[in-house]
């Protein structure tokens, strides 16, 4: 037994040396969705459910909105996706849905070139 394993073996609280033992909670100030990312371009002319969003998430291209979506409302969390947007039209709609407290909401993504909006 080396010095480290001996020290761990003698921990009165049962600390096994793993990170899991510490039960450190996630950083509540960090805004993220732990799902796969897609792009607005891939979503054009498709319908999906907006589950929620975060405002002004820092990205290398400046602050963007991060939007969580599901193709079907009953889809498992593992099937959810996220996309970043800087579209003023989409941001406006997200704020209005939030004001009305009406998430989730079924929408269709539309686009023309680099301009995207929701219907």
Please, which pLDDT band fits residue 7 given cuts at 50, 70 and 90? low
Element (H, E) at 109: strand 105-112
Tell me the CA distances in angstroms from 97 to 53, 90, 104, one per residue in order: 11, 11, 9
* CA proximity to 85, closest of 75, 97, 93: 93
66 φ, ψ (degrees, to nearest 5)? -110, 120
Please, which pLDDT band fits residue 31 given cuts at 50, 70 and 90? low
pTM of the model: 0.75
Instruction: List all residues 6 or more positions away from 93 whose beta carbon is below 8 Å from its beta carbon.
Output: 107, 117, 118
In a 13 Å sphere around the CA of 27, the CA atoms on its Cβ side amount to: 4
């Amino acid at each position: 037994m080396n010095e480290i394993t001996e020290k761990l073996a003698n921990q009165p609280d049962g600390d096994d040396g793993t990170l899991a033992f510490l039960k450190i909670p996630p950083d509540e100030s960090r805004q993220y969705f732990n799902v796969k990312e897609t792009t607005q371009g891939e979503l054009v002319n498709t319908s999906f459910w907006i589950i929620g969003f975060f405002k002004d998430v820092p990205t290398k291209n400046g602050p963007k909105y991060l939007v969580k979506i599901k193709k079907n409302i009953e889809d498992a969390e593992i099937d959810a996706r996220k996309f970043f947007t800087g579209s003023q039209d989409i941001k406006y709609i997200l704020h209005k849905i939030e004001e009305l407290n009406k998430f989730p909401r079924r929408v269709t993504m539309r686009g023309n070139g680099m301009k995207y909006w929701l219907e």
